[in-house]
């Protein structure tokens, strides 16, 4: 779950930098913050899978130490300096549904990342890379992964509306973000995630 939260750091810092949205301290992102956010993302992709295996075996390895650094230091400084955007707002929206309360913050943020990539029209290769990472380390890529396999659109719209409430971080993204757009993005991410699972026979 820590990797799921850290996964959002780079994408949200990029969004805030592009729109000049304020960071958590009320200022603008710095080059240092952006660089650390990117290093966080790169470290996750490079070492995340082997670090998870090490943790499962209660082993302390260089890969695990790098991921601990990414999850705590790089992500912490990266988000405070860079700011938050769609992934954390989608997380906040998901908390409107009781079924998601059994899941960790970082798990909901991870789904927020894959949905946010659909919302912001990320390049397909980047989206595929993030889906693959989440699959490898066991982070949610579908609504079913968050206990919402049977959720209807009416209830899912509550998620989208909460994610788009005034003052939410999602408005740090470029353009006008609406509940309809967020709903479509979540459904698109869910469809992609489910399709990939079928291909992988998961």
CA–CA dist 124, 150 (Å, integer): 27
Options 5, 145, 172, 190, the catalytic residue: 5
- To the query of whether residue 58 is one of the catalytic residues in this protein, the response is no
The answer to whether the beta carbons of residues 34 and 6 sit under 8 Å apart is no
Find the catalytic residue in 91, 145, 172, 190. Answer: 91
| 98 among known catalytic residues | no
Find all residues with CB under 8 Å of 146, minimum gap 6, and list them.
Answer: 94, 99, 100, 103, 107, 108, 111, 140
- The question of whether 105 is a catalytic residue gets the answer yes
Q: Does the annotation mark 195 as catalytic? A: no
**Contact indicator for 97, 158 with CB cutoff of 8 Å:** yes
Rounded to whole angstroms, the Cα distance separating 132 from 47 reads 14
Can you read off the two tokens belonging to residue 66? 């790098």
Burial (0-12, 13-18, 19+ Cβ within 10 Å), 144? middle
Q: Which residue among the candidates 88, 145, 172, 190 is catalytic per the annotation? A: 88
Q: Which two tokens stand for residue 101?
A: 């309360």
Q: Round to whole Å and give the CA distance between 188 and 6.
A: 22
Neighbour-count burial of 201, counting CB atoms closer than 10 A to its CB (0-12 exposed, 13-18 middle, 19+ buried): exposed
Q: Supply the DSSP symbol for 72.
A: I
- What are the catalytic residues? 5, 88, 91, 105
């Amino acid at each position: 779950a820590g990797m799921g939260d850290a996964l959002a750091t780079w994408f949200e810092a990029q969004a805030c930098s592009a729109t000049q949205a304020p960071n958590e301290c009320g200022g603008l992102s710095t080059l240092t913050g952006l660089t650390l956010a990117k290093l966080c993302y790169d470290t996750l992709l490079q070492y995340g899978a082997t670090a998870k295996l090490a943790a499962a075996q209660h082993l302390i390895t260089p890969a695990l130490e790098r991921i601990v650094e990414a999850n705590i230091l790089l992500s912490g400084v990266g988000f405070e300096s860079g700011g938050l955007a769609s992934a954390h707002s989608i997380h906040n929206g998901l908390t409107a549904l009781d079924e998601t309360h059994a899941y960790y913050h970082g798990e909901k943020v991870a789904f927020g990342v894959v949905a946010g990539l659909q919302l912001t029209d990320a390049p397909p290769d980047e989206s595929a890379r993030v889906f693959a990472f989440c699959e490898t380390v066991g982070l949610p890529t579908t609504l079913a992964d968050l206990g919402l396999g049977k959720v209807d659109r009416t209830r899912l719209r509550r998620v989208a509306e909460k994610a788009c409430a005034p003052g939410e971080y999602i408005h740090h993204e470029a353009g006008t973000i609406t509940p309809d757009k967020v709903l479509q993005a979540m459904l698109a991410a869910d469809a992609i995630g489910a399709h990939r699972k079928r291909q992988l026979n998961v």
